[in-house]
Structure 1
Amino acid sequence: MDKIVKRYYQLKQQQKETEQELKELRDQIISFCQEKETSEFAAGPYRVKLISQARKEFDDAKLYGALPDPELWRMLSKSDPAKIAGLVKLGVIKEERLQDTYALKEITLLQVDKR
């Protein structure tokens, strides 16, 4: 069991290092795109594409006040954009009631494919 725990620990450390390096590389690619004012380019056999998205970040207090039935809050327990979108889609909550309960946050997705 010692070997398994040791290997697990090593892999978790390696994962942290890999995630940090990925973040740094991602930031460099996005900076390059911003400097060149482009959202798509080719680098050797790779195609790079930046995709902008807007995500809703809900304010829990405002959301709670906007819900028609406090029992719905128990279903959510905290604001989960996917669950909220599902309740809107089902017609349980009207989109208009949620209008001032969230802020839109622009995010950039990085997509790298091999051509």
Structure 2
Amino acid sequence: MEKKVQHYYKLKAKHKEIEKELAELRQEIVAYCAGQGDTDTVIGSYRVKLVTQNRKEYDDEKLYNALADPQVWRLLSKADPAKVASLAKLKVIAEDKLTDTYTVKEVTLLQVEKQ
């Protein structure tokens, strides 16, 4: 079992290194494409796309104050955007009550496909 734990530890360390390297490469590729003014381009034999998304980031205090029922807040426990969106979709929370409880953050996603 010690060998499995050791192997797991090594893989987790390698995983951290790979994620760090991916983040650095992603940043360089996004900067390059932005500098070129491209959101969809071919580089060598790879197609690179930048996709922009808007994500809501909720303010816990404002959201708590907007929710009339403390039982609903217990379902959330903290402002998880996916949970809030689900509760709004299910009409547990009225969408108009959420209006001033979040800011919209623009996020750029990087997609790379082999041609």
Fold shared, TM-score > 0.5 on shorter chain: yes
Size of the alignment, in residue pairs?
115
Helix, strand or coil for the counterpart of 2:108?
Answer: strand
Partner of 1:48: 48
Gaps of 5+ in 2: none
- Separation of aligned partners in 2, 1:88 and 1:7: 44
TM-score (norm: length of structure 1): 0.96
| 1:10 aligns to 2:14 (yes or no) | no
- Separation of aligned partners in 1, 2:31 and 2:83: 34
- Separation of aligned partners in 2, 1:71 and 1:13: 41
- Separation of aligned partners in 1, 2:76 and 2:14: 35
Helix, strand or coil for the counterpart of 2:69?
Answer: coil
- Separation of aligned partners in 2, 1:87 and 1:5: 40
Return 85-94 or 42-51, whichever deviates more: 85-94
Shift of residue 44, structure 1, vs aligned partner: 1.6
- Separation of aligned partners in 2, 1:110 and 1:22: 11
Q: What code does the residue aligned with 1:112 have? A: V
Q: What percent identity do the matched residue pairs reach?
A: 56
Shift of residue 96, structure 1, vs aligned partner: 1.0
Partner of 1:90: 90
TM-score (norm: length of structure 2): 0.96
Partner of 1:60: 60
Shift of residue 34, structure 1, vs aligned partner: 1.2
The runs of at least 4 aligned residues of structure 1 exceeding 2 Å deviation read none
Shift of residue 86, structure 1, vs aligned partner: 1.2
- Separation of aligned partners in 2, 1:40 and 1:67: 41
Cα root mean square deviation, aligned? 0.9
